[in-house]
């Protein structure tokens, strides 16, 4: 358990809304309830209860980062608002320590009639800064927002992009102990988003705690050590981000599958074909054990083995930076399949996707498979990743609508294998990965 000071502690948080079918029911509820109350009669109920969130408990200590993921309407914003104190919980309680700067959904936090400048001062005072403290920060905030003379216009005249620029500039410049970001960044342009993410990373490095809600699970993975997965208001998983994200993806794939007609059950006795080397059976059993973690199969086709080898076919666990390797995938179609897709993700130790490719991107479709057919697919590539630990997720699917990337997932193995990259004889790498560059210099002035 961390000894860092507690920034936010929530226990048994829940939020119940009263939902009225018709507007007049709301009026009836207040009038009739009061009237009956005066007569000592039990109040009527013209509404139904809807629990937007139930039983959420969590802790956030100094310097910790927690992402909140879940589908639309799962309760993420409701939770953040209760943690920030802008929404009263129905059950449970929240304790906070330190200054919390929140970047909630668009519209929250600013008075639309005030100018940007006035809102900066207003926000600063809400967060406990004195006028002199806001004065000292104002130029930095305006420069970060970069909205020019709009700073002296009422914010109701702002585009959503300008609005979020100013809101973000304030939130990250008020020396907060906790930064709460709810999806707001999705509004800004890509460059501003990148600037914000870099800034958030710097604040985290300086010990600021972060609560982060985003539909971009990749962004959550890259900035958050831990994550909470909410489903229909219930906490499903809370823990280290990579595991929580896998649980979220697994549930989504299962839900999508449940929404479609059940595929015909595969025959488990289908014989392996001649491509299948019987000597590999032991390796395949070992793969099946390794691949078991949160694996999802629908029986239409399945991986028998996934391994990383050198160019001589020798299995590898350690790859040198710059080494060319082969990712070998063996799978069996358990029924006839006209068109199958295969994909792999290379993920770093936090579960963040570094590299992805599939047979569609590479224009190498797998077609006309017979039931029982075993196929070996080799991906050959040169590894130019920073030294560290990586895993490979593998997916087999049947495309349904490629235009909207809709596929029926036959086999999804979140951790098909793990490998290490060690530094070769080349230079150390300063970023996650490297591609080959062609570099040209040309002297434009002062030529000899
Ligand atoms: N004032 C309200 N009255 C009734 N129901 C509400 C109210 N506010 C939110 N809800 C409902 O509570 C549930 C959770 O909403 P919330 O906005 O927290 O979800 P979310 O996970 O943030 O969704 P999204 O990803 O779409 O922003 C939703 O079903 C929403 O319709």
CB of 70 sitting under 6 A from ligand 1: yes
CB of 78 sitting under 6 A from ligand 1: yes
**Tens digits of residue pLDDT in 106-125:** 556 788 899 999 999 998 88
**pLDDT for the residue numbered 272:** 34
Q: How far apart are CA 296 and CA 412, in angstroms?
A: 5
**pLDDT for the residue numbered 269:** 36
**pLDDT for the residue numbered 336:** 92
**pLDDT for the residue numbered 33:** 75
**Are 208 and 279 in a shared domain?**
no
- How many structural domains are present in the chain? 2
**pLDDT for the residue numbered 403:** 59
Decide if 387 is inside a domain.
yes
Rounded distance from Cα 212 to ligand 1 centre (Å): 17
**Are 73 and 197 in a shared domain?**
yes
Return the residue whose CA atom lies nearest to atom 17 of ligand 1. Answer: 77
Strand-pairing partners, residue 367, are 339
Q: Among the three residues 189, 213, 247, which one is the final residue of a domain in this structure? A: 247
**pLDDT for the residue numbered 425:** 66
Q: Which CATH number is 376's domain given?
A: 2.70.50.60
Rounded distance from Cα 405 to ligand 1 centre (Å): 27
Decide if 201 is inside a domain.
yes
**Are 177 and 71 in a shared domain?**
yes
**pLDDT for the residue numbered 388:** 84
State which residues form the domain around 390. Answer: 270-422
Rounded distance from Cα 77 to ligand 1 centre (Å): 7
Decide if 64 is inside a domain.
yes
8 A C-beta contact, residue 72 and residue 25? no
Decide if 253 is inside a domain.
no
Decide if 441 is inside a domain.
no
**Are 275 and 243 in a shared domain?**
no
ipTM summary value? 0.95
Q: How far apart are CA 234 and CA 236, in angstroms?
A: 6
Strand-pairing partners, residue 11, are 93
CB of 77 sitting under 6 A from ligand 1: yes
**pLDDT for the residue numbered 219:** 78
**Tens digits of residue pLDDT in 38-97:** 777 777 777 888 999 999 999 999 999 999 999 888 999 899 989 988 899 999 999 998
8 A C-beta contact, residue 311 and residue 324? yes
Which residues of the chain, if any, have pLDDT below 50? 261-276, 278
**pLDDT for the residue numbered 257:** 60
Decide if 429 is inside a domain.
no
Rounded distance from Cα 90 to ligand 1 centre (Å): 15
């Amino acid at each position: 358990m961390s000894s860092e000071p507690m920034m936010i502690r929530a226990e048994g948080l829940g939020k119940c809304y009263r939902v009225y079918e018709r507007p007049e029911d709301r009026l009836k509820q207040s009038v009739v309830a009061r009237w009956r109350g005066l007569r000592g009669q039990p109040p009527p109920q013209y509404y139904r209860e809807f629990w937007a969130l139930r039983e959420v408990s969590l802790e956030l200590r100094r310097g910790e980062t927690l992402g909140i993921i879940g589908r639309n309407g799962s309760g993420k914003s409701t939770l953040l608002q209760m943690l920030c104190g802008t929404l009263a919980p129905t059950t449970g309680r929240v304790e906070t320590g330190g200054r919390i700067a929140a970047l909630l959904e668009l519209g929250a936090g600013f008075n639309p009639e005030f100018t940007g400048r006035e809102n900066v001062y207003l926000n600063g005072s809400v967060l406990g800064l004195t006028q002199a403290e806001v004065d000292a920060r104002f130029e930095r905030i305006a420069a970060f927002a970069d909205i020019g003379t709009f700073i002296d216009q009422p914010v109701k005249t702002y585009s959503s992009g300008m609005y979020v620029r100013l809101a973000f500039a304030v939130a990250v410049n008020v020396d907060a102990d906790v930064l709460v970001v709810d999806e707001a960044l999705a509004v800004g342009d890509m460059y501003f988003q990148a600037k914000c993410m870099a800034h958030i990373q710097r604040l985290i490095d300086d010990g600021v705690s972060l609560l982060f809600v985003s539909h971009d699970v990749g962004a959550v993975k890259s900035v958050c050590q831990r994550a909470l997965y909410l489903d229909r208001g219930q906490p499903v998983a809370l823990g280290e981000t990579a595991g929580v994200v896998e649980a979220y993806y697994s549930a989504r794939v299962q839900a999508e599958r449940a929404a479609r007609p059940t595929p015909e059950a595969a025959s488990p006795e289908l014989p392996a074909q001649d491509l299948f080397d019987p000597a590999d059976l032991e390796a395949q059993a070992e793969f099946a054990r390794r691949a078991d973690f949160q694996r999802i199969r629908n029986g239409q086709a399945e991986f028998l083995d996934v391994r990383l080898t050198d160019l001589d076919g020798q299995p590898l666990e350690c790859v040198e930076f710059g080494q060319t390797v082969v990712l070998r995938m063996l799978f069996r179609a358990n029924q006839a399949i006209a068109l199958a897709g295969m994909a792999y993700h290379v993920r770093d130790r936090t579960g963040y996707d570094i590299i992805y490719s599939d047979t569609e991107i590479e224009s190498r479709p797998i077609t006309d498979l017979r039931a029982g057919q075993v196929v070996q697919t080799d991906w050959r590539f040169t590894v130019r990743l920073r030294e560290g630990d990586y895993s490979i997720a593998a997916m087999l699917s049947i495309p349904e609508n490629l235009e909207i990337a809709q596929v029926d997932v036959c086999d999804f193995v979140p951790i098909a294998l793990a490998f290490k990259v060690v530094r070769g004889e080349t230079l150390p790498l300063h970023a996650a990965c490297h591609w080959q560059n062609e570099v040209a210099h040309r002297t434009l002035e002062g030529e000899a």
